[in-house]
Amino acid sequence: MRSLWKGAVSFGLVYVPVKMYAATEKKNVKFNYLHEKCKTPVQYRRYCPYCDAEVEMEELVKGYEYEKGQYVVIREEDFENLPGENTRSINIVDFVDLTEIDPLYFDKGYYLAPGDGGQRVYELLKKSMEETGKVALAKVVIRNKESLAALRVAEGVITMSTMFYPDEVRKTTAIPELHYQVSIHDNELKMAIDLINNLAAPFHPEKYTDEYREQLMQVIQAKVAGEGVELPPAKESEKVVDLMSALKASIDLAKQERDGQKKKGQRTKKKAAGI
């Protein structure tokens, strides 16, 4: 795996050299747009309507629209004097509890590995964060953008999640559908809590798969092989007529599924024991 960025974590007067690696990758099925007549991928060209001409990459500059149709050009040298642009440093500013951070603030995830000769000081930072149970809040500039970031220890390594700033998280007051008034009966609340308790389980991420992507790949592979493909029809959701009846039916179904999983586990254990 190739590192995306090299720099250092600034921890008081201590500097921890690190390399940054992507912790996640999207596995979306990607499509190209083709000309239907000849099945050739179409090209997207940079075109200037004012000059009525195609524009080469070396002719492009960055522009900021400060008024409708009015732009100011920002060049590479304009970025050089901005705070943190050339520091290549992850500057820790606070240590907080993870429970204090709303997950809405998290953006992209990265692994931080020790840089050249930095194993000992990396381990020191990792161990001290493990002992205190704290998360480090830091600021980092990557690709001309300053981000807030959270550093924590997970699976024995220091991870970094870039975060949104408060003014980047939209306020719920702007959603009119959230301004409502209803009353919930005690029995409804009790049954809803019972349903949650029956569906509660330890988090095992490996049991969740992208069923849509898997079935889409079946369709694609069948097309490549020149075969037809039949997928099971999607289940139709039943209309909820009565809330209490729906809650009761959901609880019964959850219990049946849980009992089935327990029996399956018992059979597996007996089989392994040769019973």
Neighbours of 3 (CB within 10 A): 15
Q: Are the CB atoms for 6 and 19 separated by under 8 Å? A: yes
Select the CATH number that applies to the domain covering 5-27+81-168 from these four: 1.10.565.10, 2.20.28.10, 2.40.290.10, 1.10.3720.10. 2.40.290.10
Note the pLDDT of residue 216: 87
Confidence category of residue 82, pLDDT binned at 50, 70, 90: confident
Q: pLDDT tens across 208-218, in order?
A: 888 889 888 88
Q: Residue 106 and residue 149: Cα distance in Å, rounded?
A: 8
Model confidence at 137: pLDDT above 90: yes
Confidence category of residue 274, pLDDT binned at 50, 70, 90: low
What are the CB-based long-range contacts (under 8 Å, 24+) for 64-72?
Answer: none
- Predicted TM-score (pTM) of the model is 0.74
Residues 130-137, mean pLDDT to the nearest whole number = 96
Q: By C-alpha distance, which of 161, 90, 95 is closest to 134?
A: 95
Q: Are the CB atoms for 254 and 195 separated by under 8 Å? A: yes
Q: pLDDT tens across 222-264, in order?
A: 888 887 656 666 666 555 557 778 777 887 887 787 776 666 5
Domain coordinates in residue numbering, the chain = 5-27+81-168, 182-273
